[in-house]
Amino acid sequence: MPLPAEIRPSQLAGDVRIVSSHAFRSFSELTSNSPQLYDSVVGLFMDTYNAPPWNEEWNDEMAGDYFGKLMQLPSQVTTVQEGSKVIGLFIGCTGSTREVVPLSVEAYFPEEPKEIVNEIKRRIFVKIEEVGGDQKPAFWGCDFAVPPEKRGAVIAGKLLREAIKYPIEKGITDMYGMTMIGSPFHTITERRGSRMLLEVKDVLPKNPRVFKIMDMRGLLQ
């Protein structure tokens, strides 16, 4: 059954900002059916991660390749729009942990040696099995972006709560995500009962990412 092009829109405080969630079966469906949305989210993604504290060096080609790797499974693109400008982004994909973990880890660490990437995957799978998550479908928080000048609990919290409604309606309760300590995604999920399962620095010294799990229903409270 085809996924709906747009699941639902809802408003943030006032009439200026709108949060909407869009579902796509593949990356190519996003780029071909919604090119304006794609351009907006890629621009926001680069504005966010090329700024402090990440200070990365993304360009259009790199970002397109990254999104293509993440969105090989059915995905949701949730945005906050202020006027005509996108100011918040959350990408999530749904599948078994055996599907989402390899895609995500390989997208996050494209330049690391294969043995390092495989070791990160192995440790994640061990932790998932310990919490019984290998036996049920999961929602993976692929990416979360709010530019520096717009960061705050109001935008980030509304964005995340909208993104998780659809998978919860489908009976999925577990959300996994790899994030950085201190990021909006980490802060919000930490307050709502997430559990840290792996620190990437155990495999890649000085890498600030952590791997987390949480029951998404806690975010709706």
Domain count, the chain: 1
Q: How far is CA 110 from the centre of its chain?
A: 17
Q: How far apart are CA 116 and CA 31, in angstroms?
A: 31
Could you tell me if residue 20 is inside a domain?
yes
Identify the pLDDT of residue 16: 66
Could you tell me if residue 103 is inside a domain?
yes
Contact between 135 and 54 (Cβ < 8 Å): no
Question: If you average pLDDT over each of 10-19, 160-169, 177-186, which comes out highest?
Answer: 160-169
Identify the pLDDT of residue 153: 57
pTM: 0.82
Flag whether pLDDT at 110 surpasses 60. Answer: yes
Beta bridge partners of 127: none
Could you tell me if residue 2 is inside a domain?
no
Each residue's pLDDT tens digit, 13-30: 444 688 899 999 999 999
Each residue's pLDDT tens digit, 192-203: 888 898 999 999
Could you tell me if residue 112 is inside a domain?
yes
Mean predicted confidence (pLDDT) in 59-70: 91
Please give the mean pLDDT across all residues of the chain: 85
Each residue's pLDDT tens digit, 122-158: 999 999 999 888 778 889 988 888 887 877 657 878 8
Q: Where does the pLDDT of residue 62 fall: very low under 50, low under 70, confident under 90, or very high at 90 and above?
A: very high
Could you tell me if residue 114 is inside a domain?
yes
Which domain does 159 fall in, by range? 8-220
Stronger pLDDT, 11 or 72, i.e. the higher one: 72
Q: Where does the pLDDT of residue 12 fall: very low under 50, low under 70, confident under 90, or very high at 90 and above?
A: very low
Could you tell me if residue 1 is inside a domain?
no
Could you tell me if residue 3 is inside a domain?
no
Could you tell me if residue 50 is inside a domain?
yes
Q: Where does the pLDDT of residue 219 fall: very low under 50, low under 70, confident under 90, or very high at 90 and above?
A: confident
Identify the pLDDT of residue 21: 92
| Residues, the chain | 221
Give me 187's structure tokens: 């802060």
State the CATH number of the domain containing residue 79.
Answer: 3.40.630.30
Identify the pLDDT of residue 201: 95
- The residue to which tokens 């009439």 are assigned: 15
| CA-wise closest residue to 38 among 10, 8, 75, 11 | 75
Q: Where does the pLDDT of residue 5 fall: very low under 50, low under 70, confident under 90, or very high at 90 and above?
A: very low
